[in-house]
């Protein structure tokens, strides 16, 4: 008797589940698209607001947003790609673009341009940054460049009067000394950037080479690495950069950088991060260029900070492209997005945004204007394995920072490792 | 046959959920990983058969593989004895017939429940940070502060300490083992005037041997598999200077950061073999040092 009742109960429950599942299907909107991006709290807030706006304007389309930090973004993306379950629209980075296109994970956008994707009047250079083998696989949703963020109060107090757009590494070192001396060592001149391959890349280009040549070989030399690490070792010895304990913690969040904590007066970032850094810094920040080599070539460059791409697994391309088009053209949407992902590459949108900009947004636009003629060309996309080379740079560099190995040995072993990593990745 | 069922039936009944999980959920991926370990697979393009290339590369050219083994073996050699000794000491302190023992047991077990969690790993990182609590307390005693986690020479000890603190589950098992030692043996020894340390060496340890053995095997396997705490404390990278490059952290990075799923599968199989070898050694040597009470000669 008890058994019967239990079985009956189970049966009823199962039927209930089945029924609710059936009811659930037609309740879904006609079309659903998934948008996946890496973010931070500020970016997520803005993006979800955009999704709301878009859904109100397009009742037939439901957009589901998926967001995660940069650190886990590519892991999740690779897993979803392997499982043939990519989001319809994915945020893409210049570093990974070629890799994903070559693996066949993205769809070209050319057939939609001028029909449902109105980007004909966008800046040509930045748009072409999303081309692979002549086809457009990625839509630029913001441009950025390297920036040396500085604390304006500390700079003023220490009397640093260098021209922060045209300054040299020598000026930079002197500024570090001045700042540390003025504060009695409490505020160091800058973060120790010896582990940042992004800064090293500028260093190499200033010496007249690219990090990777056109064949994907490592073109940076042992001497490039050794002089770079020696430059920072000298500053470390003078005790005018951040302590080594904080330096060997890799890829710290913005809020733990020297400038946010107040340990140092300068940290290195990408220009679209200015808004985020100001949000976590007590003092007003300023934007300087990566220092130049006296008599050298331009090292810094302007790059697409982020792209939006159409994935191979897209279900309804028409709706996905409609969303993409609204992202870069709809005035209400571009207003919400602002400059958070980088400077928009449409002059029309930039003009629309200009009157309503906040102080830090103005800073980033002005910085962008100031550097236009000081930067070099966009380097070729890095070969497969470049992400791992970045890790190796930090790892070998850590040994130098901790004085466990000599600069010369470390530089030689890094160049060997880098080429081996690239060879293995092909 | 009937006798077999009568004897072992209940055991298999209890094992059934595990068997179901194993055959339905785990076995497929395990076999797939064996296949993948002989391929080059970036998770997007189809896997490509490369024979033993992954294994050859691992043993002949991959310096980080050896580094990871070194870190992991060091950790196992330090953390397992540390945790077992801690567990045994606390178990013996608790084995005094206290009425409130349940409360203490729960309290001492708590770190083990929390210990493997992400939150504790983050807490640990902050405790031992350059400006963390540990350094502040040490400063009160006039001991100069030290960057415990960012100094490659000390970073692993912070993890050993964390492992030691999570002594709960072996402690519970030790406690049960201690309870099953007949009291009259101690009484007899007491009457003979045997000192306490001798009682410990001659009665407690030998009679506890099966439980020690069980804990040793389990904790060794556990230690080889340590992942989340090392991953969090090293910021996912094995830093500083690869001093926290645990085998599992290396494996994870190979698979999900550099998308070498084939190579990572090979790493996983090598880890499985290493653990099997260690467990095998423990079992083979056990007949020389583990004495079972109901053993028939």
Nearest chain A residue to B245 by CA: give it.
Answer: A395
pLDDT value at residue B71: 95
pLDDT value at residue B224: 95
Q: Is A312 on the interface with B (CB under 8 A)?
A: no
Q: What is the mean pLDDT of residues B118-140?
A: 84
- Identify the residue among A195, A245, A313, A394 best suited for mutation to test binding to B, counting B beta carbons within 10 A and taking the highest: A245
Q: A254 vs chain B: nearest CA distance in angstroms?
A: 15
pLDDT value at residue A214: 86
Residue for token pair 């790609």: A81
Longest dimension (CA), chain A: 94
pLDDT value at residue A14: 46
Tell me the domain boundaries of chain B. 53-289
Q: Which chain B residues are closer than 8 Å to A395 by Cβ?
A: 239, 241-242
Q: Is B152 on the interface with A (CB under 8 A)?
A: yes
Burial B193-221 (b: 16+ CB within 10 A, else e): ebeeeebeeebbeebbbbbbbbbbbebbb
pLDDT over 90 percentage in chain B: 41
Q: What is the mean pLDDT of residues A211-233?
A: 94
CB within 8 A of B247, min separation 6: which ones?
Answer: B68, B69, B71, B72, B224, B267, B271
Q: Is A392 on the interface with B (CB under 8 A)?
A: no
Q: Identify the weakest region by mean pLDDT among A167-176, B61-70, B128-137.
A: B128-137
- Identify the residue among A68, A69, A73, A75 best suited for mutation to test binding to B, counting B beta carbons within 10 A and taking the highest: A75
Q: At what angle do helices A222-237 and A386-401 cross, to 10 degrees?
A: 40
Q: Which residue, B52, B68, B73, is CA-closest to B263? A: B52
CB within 8 A of A34, min separation 6: which ones?
Answer: A63, A64, A65, A66, A87, A88, A89
Highest mean pLDDT among A13-17, A211-215, B150-154: A211-215
Q: Do A249 and B147 touch (CB under 8 A)?
A: no
Instruction: In chain A, list all ranges with CATH 3.40.190.10.
Output: 29-142+305-345, 144-302+376-425
Q: Predicted ipTM?
A: 0.73
How many Å apart are CA A210 and CA A199, to the nearest integer? 13
User: How is residue A74 annotated by DSSP?
Assistant: H
How many Å apart are CA A109 and CA A180, to the nearest integer? 52
pLDDT value at residue A305: 86
Q: What is the mean pLDDT of residues A322-348?
A: 91
Q: Is B130 on the interface with A (CB under 8 A)?
A: yes
Q: Is B44 on the interface with A (CB under 8 A)?
A: yes
Q: Is A71 on the interface with B (CB under 8 A)?
A: yes
Q: Indicate the average pLDDT of chain B.
A: 88
The class of domain A144-302+376-425 in CATH terms is: alpha beta
Over the stretch A370-410, which tens digit does the pLDDT of each residue have?
898 899 888 887 788 888 899 899 999 999 999 989 999 99
Q: Is A251 on the interface with B (CB under 8 A)?
A: yes
Q: Do A398 and B241 touch (CB under 8 A)?
A: yes
Q: How many CB pairs under 8 A join A and B?
A: 66
Q: Is A249 on the interface with B (CB under 8 A)?
A: yes
Q: Which residue, A307, A303, A302, is CA-closest to A139? A: A307
How many Å apart are CA A343 and CA A356, to the nearest integer? 14
Residue for token pair 């070498």: B260
Helix (H, G, I), strand (E, B) or coil at A117: strand
Minimum-distance CB partner of B241 among A74, A245, A395 = A395
Q: Which chain B residues are closer than 8 Å to A425 by Cβ?
A: 258
pLDDT value at residue B293: 64
Q: Which chain B residues are closer than 8 Å to A394 by Cβ?
A: 237, 239
Confidence class of residue B257 from pLDDT cuts 50, 70 and 90?
confident
Better-scored residue on pLDDT, B130 or B12? B12
**Does the pLDDT value for residue A27 go beyond 70?**
no
Q: Is A262 on the interface with B (CB under 8 A)?
A: no
Q: Does domain B53-289 sit in CATH 1.10.3720.10? A: yes
Over the stretch B22-36, which tens digit does the pLDDT of each residue have?
999 999 999 999 999
Q: A103 vs chain B: nearest CA distance in angstroms?
A: 6
Asked whether the CA dihedral A269, A275, A279, A283 is positive or negative, the reply is: positive
What radius of gyration, in Å, describes the C-alpha atoms of chain A? 25
How many Å apart are CA A74 and CA B282, to the nearest integer? 41
How many Å apart are CA B242 and CA B71, to the nearest integer? 9
Q: B17 vs chain A: nearest CA distance in angstroms?
A: 20
Confidence class of residue B116 from pLDDT cuts 50, 70 and 90?
low
How many Å apart are CA B162 and CA B117, to the nearest integer? 12
Q: Which chain B residues are closer than 8 Å to A248 by Cβ?
A: 150, 239-241
How many Å apart are CA B42 and CA A105, to the nearest integer? 12
List alpha helices for chain B, DSSP H.
2-21, 27-36, 53-60, 63-94, 101-115, 118-127, 133-140, 155-165, 168-179, 183-191, 196-199, 205-224, 228-233, 247-252, 261-289
Helix/strand/coil (H, E, C) string of A239-280?
CCECCHHHHCCCCCCHHHCHHHHCCECEEEEEHHHHHHHHHH
Q: Which residue, A364, A363, A302, A299, is CA-closest to A168? A: A299
Q: Is A403 on the interface with B (CB under 8 A)?
A: no
Burial class (CB in 10 A: 0-12, 13-18, 19+), A198: middle
Task: Tell me which architecture the domain covering A29-142+305-345 has in CATH.
Answer: 3-Layer(aba) Sandwich (3.40)
């Amino acid at each position: 008797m008890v058994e019967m009742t239990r079985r009956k109960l189970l049966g009823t429950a199962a039927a209930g589940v089945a029924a609710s599942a059936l009811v659930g299907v037609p309740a879904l909107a006609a079309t659903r698209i998934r948008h996946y991006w890496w973010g931070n709290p500020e970016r997520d807030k803005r993006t979800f607001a955009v999704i709301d706006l878009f859904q109100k304007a397009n009742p037939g389309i439901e957009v589901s947003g998926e967001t995660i930090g940069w650190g886990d973004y590519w892991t999740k993306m690779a897993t979803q790609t392997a499982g043939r379950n990519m989001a319809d629209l994915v945020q893409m980075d210049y570093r990974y673009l070629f890799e994903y296109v070559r693996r066949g994970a993205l769809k070209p956008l050319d057939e939609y341009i001028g029909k449902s994707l109105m980007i004909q009047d966008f800046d040509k250079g930045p748009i072409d940054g999303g081309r692979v083998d002549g086809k457009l696989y990625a839509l630029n949703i913001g441009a950025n460049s390297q920036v040396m963020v500085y604390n304006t109060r500390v700079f003023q107090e220490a009397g640093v009067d260098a021209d922060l757009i045209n300054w040299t590494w020598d000026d930079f070192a002197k500024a570090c000394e001045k700042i540390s001396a003025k504060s009695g060592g409490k505020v160091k001149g800058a973060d120790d950037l010896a582990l940042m391959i992004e800064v090293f890349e500028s260093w190499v280009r200033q010496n007249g080479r690219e990090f990777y040549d056109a064949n994907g070989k490592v073109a940076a030399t042992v001497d490039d690495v050794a002089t770079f690490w020696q430059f920072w070792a000298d500053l470390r010895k003078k005790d005018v950069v951040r302590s080594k304990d904080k330096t060997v913690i890799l890829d710290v969040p913005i809020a733990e950088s020297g400038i946010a904590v107040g340990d140092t007066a300068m940290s290195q970032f990408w220009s679209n991060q200015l808004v985020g850094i100001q949000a976590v810094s007590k003092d007003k920040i300023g934007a300087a260029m990566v220092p130049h080599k006296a008599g050298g070539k331009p090292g810094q460059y302007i790059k697409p900070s982020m792209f939006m791409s159409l994935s191979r697994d897209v279900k309804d391309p028409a709706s996905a492209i409609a969303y993409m088009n609204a992202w870069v053209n709809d005035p209400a949407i571009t207003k919400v997005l602002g400059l958070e992902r980088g400077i928009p590459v449409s002059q029309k949108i930039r003009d629309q945004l200009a009157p309503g900009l906040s102080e830090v947004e103005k800073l980033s636009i002005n910085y962008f204007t100031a550097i236009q003629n000081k930067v070099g060309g966009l380097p070729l996309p890095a070969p497969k394995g470049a992400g791992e080379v970045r890790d190796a740079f930090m790892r070998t560099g850590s040994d130098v920072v901790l004085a466990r190995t000599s600069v010369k040995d470390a530089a030689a072993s890094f160049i060997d490792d880098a080429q081996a990593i690239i060879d293995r990745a092909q | 046959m009937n006798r077999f069922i009568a004897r072992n039936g209940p055991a298999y009944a209890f094992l059934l959920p595990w068997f179901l999980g194993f055959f339905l959920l785990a076995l497929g991926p395990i076999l797939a990983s064996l296949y993948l370990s002989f391929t080059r697979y970036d998770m997007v393009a189809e896997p490509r058969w490369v024979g033993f290339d992954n294994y050859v590369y691992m043993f002949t050219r991959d310096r980080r593989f050896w580094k990871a083994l070194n870190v992991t073996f060091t950790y196992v050699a330090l953390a397992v004895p540390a945790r077992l000794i801690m567990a045994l000491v606390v178990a013996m302190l608790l084995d005094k017939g206290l009425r409130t023992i349940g409360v203490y047991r729960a309290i001492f077990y708590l770190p083990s429940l929390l210990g493997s969690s992400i939150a504790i790993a983050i807490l640990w990182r902050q405790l031992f940070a350059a400006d963390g609590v540990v350094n502040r307390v040490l400063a009160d005693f006039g001991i100069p502060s030290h960057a415990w986690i960012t100094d490659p020479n000390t970073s692993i000890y912070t993890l050993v300490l964390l492992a030691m603190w999570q002594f709960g589950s072996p402690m519970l098992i030790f406690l049960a083992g201690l309870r099953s030692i007949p009291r009259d043996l101690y009484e007899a020894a007491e009457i003979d005037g045997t000192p306490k340390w001798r009682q410990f060496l001659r009665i407690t340890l030998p009679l506890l041997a099966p439980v020690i053995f069980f804990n040793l095997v389990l904790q060794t396997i556990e230690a080889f598999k340590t992942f989340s705490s090392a991953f969090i404390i090293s910021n996912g990278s094995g830093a500083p200077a690869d001093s926290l490059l645990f085998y599992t952290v290396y494996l994870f990075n190979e698979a999900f950061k550099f998308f070498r799923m084939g190579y990572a599968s090979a790493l996983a199989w090598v880890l499985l073999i290493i653990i099997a070898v260690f467990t095998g050694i423990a079992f083979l040597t056990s007949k020389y040092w583990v004495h079972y009470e109901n053993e028939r000669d």
